[in-house]
Amino acid sequence: MRLATFNLLHGRSPADGVVDPDRLVAAVKSLDADVLALQEVDRGQERSGGLDQTALVADALGAADARFVPALVGTPGEQWREAGVADADASPTYGVGLVSRLPVARWRRIPLGTSPARLPLLIDARRPALVRDEPRVAVAAELAGDGLVGTVVSTHLSFAPGVNVAQLLRLARALRDARRPVVVLGDLNLPGPVPSFVLPGWRSLVRGPTFPAEDPRVQLDHVLVREPARLDAEGSTVELPVSDHRGLVVELRARP
């Protein structure tokens, strides 16, 4: 079973600032994942050509099941409001997605809250700016059948220190009764070993810097598993033609 996570940066290439759907399709095809977690995903945004990027990725991978969950309605960095359950089909929106070639038995939306603070953030890993934190959300899929993994989750946590830790703990509590093994994939905005320290009993499946993409120095993107004893994993980081993050890919096998 091949899992991957990818912060899309709404499909934009930092090299030229262009959002090219063909580049995005090429990027996700190269990941060739059975289940792909997506962050910083647009739907109906003018800046990305009005596309439903989750649907585009699903089509590129030949995935039977996909779900986009908006975190906000409007455009990041401009005018927006927090998205709710009733905004599932609103437009324009921005949030997280999960795409699966494997059949999904049920989907779940998990709100994770936000920080009221404005904090300095590096734009394109170069320009600092004071940015209002966005609401955060996760999408979980319980996979059908008796496979290697019971539940997969995509999320994008706050860049506010401490807030992201609280959100990760909130997510873990929400997943206590999820079908196991549970795998959380996403941009956690937490460096290297921190998520595993925050969540005893969870194991990181891939270690390696993912940000900034052209010269990565810190791992912000993670693949975490709860109940890892039955799984062997081999993972790697992947440089792609879009985004300021590298992708993470992990191959899972049942332990003999």
Instruction: Give the DSSP per-residue string, 165-215.
Output: HHHHHHHHHHTTTSPSSEEEEEE----TTHHHHHSTTEEES--S--BSTTS
Banded model confidence at residue 205, pLDDT cuts 50, 70, 90: very high
- Is it the case that residue 255 has pLDDT exceeding 70? yes
What mean pLDDT do residues 211-227 have? 95
Percent of the chain topping pLDDT 90:
85
The domain ranges of the chain are 2-254
Token representation of residue 60:
């590129």
Residue 146: DSSP 8-state: S
Contact 8, 53 (CB under 8 A): yes
pLDDT of amino acid 149: 95
The CA dihedral of 240, 129, 221, 159, to the nearest 10 degrees, is -160
What mean pLDDT do residues 145-170 have? 95
- Fold classification of 2-254 is Deoxyribonuclease I; Chain A (3.60.10)
Which pTM does this prediction carry?
A: 0.95
pLDDT of amino acid 120: 67
What mean pLDDT do residues 183-204 have? 96
Token representation of residue 210:
């993912």
- For the ranges 58-67, 105-114, 148-157, 221-230, the lowest mean pLDDT is seen at 221-230
Percent of the chain topping pLDDT 70:
96
Mean pLDDT, all residues of the chain: 94
Banded model confidence at residue 106, pLDDT cuts 50, 70, 90: very high
pLDDT of amino acid 19: 97
**Tokens 């440089």 — which residue?**
239
Taking the C-alpha atoms of residue 88 and residue 111, their distance in angstroms, rounded to an integer, is: 13
pLDDT of amino acid 22: 97
pLDDT of amino acid 208: 96
pLDDT of amino acid 198: 97
pLDDT of amino acid 127: 64
pLDDT of amino acid 227: 77
How many Cα atoms are found within 13 Å in the side-chain-facing hemisphere of 205?
A: 29
3-state DSSP assignment of residue 101: coil
Banded model confidence at residue 24, pLDDT cuts 50, 70, 90: very high
Q: Which long-range contacts (CB under 8 A, 24 or more apart) does 55-58 make?
A: 56/21, 56/24, 56/25, 57/24, 57/25, 57/28, 57/97, 57/99, 58/99
- For the ranges 29-43, 75-89, 91-105, the lowest mean pLDDT is seen at 75-89
Token representation of residue 234:
């081999």
Taking the C-alpha atoms of residue 183 and residue 247, their distance in angstroms, rounded to an integer, is: 16
Closest CA to 141 of 102, 187, 93, 199: 102
Peptide bond before 128: cis, by omega within 30 degrees of 0?
no
What mean pLDDT do residues 53-66 have? 97
Residues whose CB is less than 8 angstroms from the CB of residue 110 and which lie 6 or more positions away in sequence, other chains included = 137, 138, 139, 140, 153, 155, 171, 174, 175
pLDDT of amino acid 230: 80
